[in-house]
Structure 1
Amino acid sequence: MKDILLDLQTLINKATLDYKNRTWLRYDIYCTQFNKLLSLASHYREINISPIEIASSQSLHNRQGSYEAYDMLAERVKLKEVVDKATSLLEKLNTFSPSVPMTAIDTISDVELVCNNFCSVVRELRRRSDHGTVLDIDTDGDILYLLKALLRLYFDAVYEDTNQSYDLNKCRSLLIPREKIALIVKKTHRSSTDKELLNDFLQAINSYSQTSDYTTLFYFIYDPELRISQPIYLENQLILLNNSPLTVKIFIRPLS
């Protein structure tokens, strides 16, 4: 049950952020995720929430004229439906199982908040108007430094993993041991490929799934030059590759 609650809260956070930022392209993915969670939740108790109908968007891109505006509105409405129904389902499950602690959900949400707003923080640090020193984020180490500082707003203990078994030159990682979270940090470069990112991801999963010390793995890819052509697609491909017991969260930022 706790896993369903965590996944529902994650879905709500991401869908709400996309709705706020007017990013409608992922609504079909969210619909699929919601329907899957709804099916799993029904095993615990009878829930009077209907699945979301997933309309195919394959042909929408080939239409012209007024259809384009209508389809955009339809996607916006569908995304709002995901947020509303997922929120309703979460509230019902919490009513059915009040003993399930919400601290784990809050913990995941805090890390997601940092990942989602990382690029906004970087932009603000570069906009100093008093001619002071500007903080540039150019390397994996710079990302690690800033992420660690931001995470310390929510967690007392955040450490860099200096004992990771895979190649340190490929990516770095932060550990939040009390909450059993590992956060992998990667910055794209001129020669970055999807295959390289996939391999790094699989190595990280293999490493952190060997121990019971960690239950959640974040993979944060900072792509300031937008070298990844299809970040949403890659996020979902990475999630599908996870066959470990770890809960995996992928963030490629910025998306555009």
Structure 2
Amino acid sequence: MEKSKAIKKLEKLIERAEPLKNSHRFEPDFEKWKRDTAITIDHIFGKDSNHKREFSKIGYSLLYATNNTTNSERQAAYEKGISSATIMLQSMRDEVQEFWSETESDEESSMSANTIVELIINRFHQVARQLRHRYNNRATLDIDDEYDVQDLFHALLKLYFDDVRPEEYTPSYAGAASRTDFLLKKEQVIIELKKSRKTLRAKEVGEQLIIDSQRYQAHPDCKRIICFVYDPEGLIANPKGIENDLSKEMNGIPVSVFIRPE
């Protein structure tokens, strides 16, 4: 999103927050403001950003309440939440003002790339299943190992991106160099693919993704890392737990992990 546009949107949300303190808790105006703010943060900073996680943690009610809790105490907690949200929005606005460049192309390109890659990930299993159903039982691509995953994923990336670089070498990290599965050069996104198997389950997947993410950060074109684990047999227990644990910012580089199908 363009820098000036992002600042204006955040300032508008800040302006809308102050009058909410004079209303009762959880009226429609508050609920709409809260939803509008969450959507705006998604569009400005991305769905997997720390900004979104921090904003979602703000509370607008008491953690504990009893029959003796007064309405004024409840209202005070609500107003405190509005104040905390306002301060956070002001900090986001100041961050955009100070650190964003005036051009919009890099930011918009990166954000759209994240959305497109996530779409491919979410529909990958459907595509793989559809490939098995060909006219007159003709030969097709069976997804048996990581190389098959890479081949199909590469073809799907080419639908959306002009410069897709497979097996891009990264600079040496801790004495060892490695290769990414794919680099989206213009968008500066590194994509790592894995396929679960009996000898590669939750623990091993987590360990490998952590090591790979640390190595990929050394690449000069790395501004985001997206990891996709294809698990058609459901061999990985608690996939959401792994996603939540590993999807975070590492040394300033956002890392997103997806295990599919869900």
Q: Which range, TM-score by smaller chain?
A: 0.5 to 0.7
Aligned length in residues? 185
Task: Go from structure 1 to structure 2 and tell me whether the alpha carbon gap of 1:174 and 1:7 turns closer, same or farther (over 3 Å shift).
Answer: farther
Could you tell me which residue of structure 1 aligns to residue 120 of structure 2?
114
Distance 1:33 1:224 in 2: 33
Deviation at 1:247, TM superposition (A): 1.5
Deviation at 1:134, TM superposition (A): 2.2
Could you tell me which residue of structure 2 aligns to residue 27 of structure 1?
none
| Contact 2:229–2:258 under 8 Å retained in 1 | yes
The residue correspondences of 1:82-161 to structure 2 (distance < 5 A) are: 100-101=104-105, 102-161=108-167
Distance 2:211 2:203 in 1: 12
Of stretches 109-118 and 34-43 in structure 1, the one that deviates more from structure 2 is 34-43
Letter in structure 2 aligned against 1:244: N
1:43 aligns with 2:43: no
The residue correspondences of 1:21-100 to structure 2 (distance < 5 A) are: 35=56, 40-45=88-93, 100=104
Please, what TM-score do these two structures have when normalized by structure 1?
Answer: 0.61
1:84-112 Cα deviation digits (max 9, x unpaired): xxxxxxxxxxxxx9964433221211111
Could you tell me which residue of structure 2 aligns to residue 243 of structure 1?
250
Q: What SS class does the counterpart of residue 233 from structure 2 fall into?
A: coil
Q: What SS class does the counterpart of residue 178 from structure 1 fall into?
A: coil
Q: What SS class does the counterpart of residue 193 from structure 2 fall into?
A: strand
Deviation at 1:207, TM superposition (A): 1.1
Letter in structure 2 aligned against 1:109: T
| Contact 1:140–1:185 under 8 Å retained in 2 | yes
| Contact 2:243–2:259 under 8 Å retained in 1 | yes
1:207 aligns with 2:225: no
Could you tell me which residue of structure 2 aligns to residue 10 of structure 1?
47
Task: Go from structure 1 to structure 2 and tell me whether the alpha carbon gap of 1:216 and 1:44 turns closer, same or farther (over 3 Å shift).
Answer: closer
Could you tell me which residue of structure 2 aligns to residue 254 of structure 1?
261
Distance 1:193 1:7 in 2: 35
Task: Go from structure 1 to structure 2 and tell me whether the alpha carbon gap of 1:175 and 1:6 turns closer, same or farther (over 3 Å shift).
Answer: farther
1:46-95 Cα deviation digits (max 9, x unpaired): 9xxxxxxxxxxxxxxxxxxxxxxxxxxxxxxxxxxxxxxxxxxxxxxxxx
Could you tell me which residue of structure 1 aligns to residue 192 of structure 2?
184
Letter in structure 2 aligned against 1:125: L
Task: Go from structure 1 to structure 2 and tell me whether the alpha carbon gap of 1:239 and 1:11 turns closer, same or farther (over 3 Å shift).
Answer: closer
Distance 2:246 2:259 in 1: 11
Letter in structure 2 aligned against 1:194: A
Instruction: From the two aligned structures, give the one with the greater strand fraction.
Output: 2
Deviation at 1:223, TM superposition (A): 0.5
1:225 aligns with 2:237: no
1:5-64 Cα deviation digits (max 9, x unpaired): 56754369xxxxxxxxxxxxxxxxxx9565259674342459xxxxxxxxxxxxxxxxxx
Deviation at 1:220, TM superposition (A): 0.5
| Contact 2:196–2:230 under 8 Å retained in 1 | yes
Task: Go from structure 1 to structure 2 and tell me whether the alpha carbon gap of 1:6 and 1:108 turns closer, same or farther (over 3 Å shift).
Answer: farther
Deviation at 1:243, TM superposition (A): 2.6
- Gaps of at least 5 residues in structure 2 are 7-40, 59-84, 95-100
Q: What is the root-mean-square deviation in Å for CA atoms of aligned residues? A: 3.4
Percent sequence identity over aligned pairs: 29
Could you tell me which residue of structure 2 aligns to residue 198 of structure 1?
206
